[in-house]
Chains A and B, each alone.
Chain A
Amino acid sequence: NAGVTQTPKFQVLKTGQSMTLQCAQDMNHEYMSWYRQDPGMGLRLIHYSVGAGITDQGEVPNGYNVSRSTTEDFPLRLLSAAPSQTSVYFCASRRISLGVDGYTFGSGTRLTVV
């Protein structure tokens, strides 16, 4: 199993550019989510989804869009990148039907906005 796969691993954007961070999982997990990690801040929830066609906002959703057309994929879109979005982004997933269990995290995307 590949687990949770994030692409790209590194990205540099100019202010105002748009891009999509990809997240795919092959574990048939219903729940998927995006976090951002900033120094001294821990990880903060951006958006999450409990299944295809269902998404909701987390703690810091502004500036980000998501959609969930399939169980496997949960892309995160930055429509107009800002320097404040420089961060490391993690995708995480878990199986809802197994109750509360540990989340499986991807290896992250390091994004720099200049």
Chain B
Amino acid sequence: AQSVTQLGSHVSVSEGALVLLRCNYSSSVPPYLFWYVQYPNQGLQLLLKYTSAATLVKGINGFEAEFKKSETSFHLTKPSAHMSDAAEYFCAVRGYSGGGADGLTFGKGTHLIIQP
């Protein structure tokens, strides 16, 4: 079965500081992993995805994530936070907890707060 754990429901960083959002996964099939961002009152936008190619994945808006199989992790990073990065971030793995191979299983989300 698939599951995703995002450590920290809220993360606060100063503008210009490193952003690190943590995601650990469990998957009964080769994992395909995603990070989505949700701005207030909007839908989800794909930031980046890992689909068994390069383990370091670069996405939009300067974000990147590294797939580490030994740690079952897919943490999201950005070297320098901007005020516009304030949003909710979701990590997701292919498949859902009921056993299906399609659909997505999401973590509970991390609210990123940027301090001026």
Please list the residues of chain A having a beta carbon within 8 angstroms of any beta carbon in chain B.
4, 31, 33, 35, 40-45, 48, 50, 56-59, 90, 92, 99-103, 105-108
Instruction: Give the tally of cross-chain contacts (CB within 8 A).
Output: 65
Tell me which residues across on chain A come within 8 A of B109, comparing CB atoms.
40, 42
Q: Can you list 6 A-B pairs, Cβ within 8 angstroms, ordered by A?
A: A41-B108, A45-B103, A92-B104, A105-B43, A106-B43, A108-B42
The answer to whether B97 and A103 touch across the interface, beta carbons within 8 angstroms, is: no
Most interface-central of B42, B44, B45, B46 (chain A CB within 10 A): B44
Q: Are B43 and A108 closer than 8 Å at their CB atoms?
A: yes
Residue pair A107, B97 in contact (C-beta under 8 Å):
no
Residues 7-44 of B, flagged 1 when their CB comes within 8 A of A and 0 if not, give 00100000000000000000000001010100000111
Are the C-beta atoms of B51 and A58 separated by less than 8 Å?
Answer: no
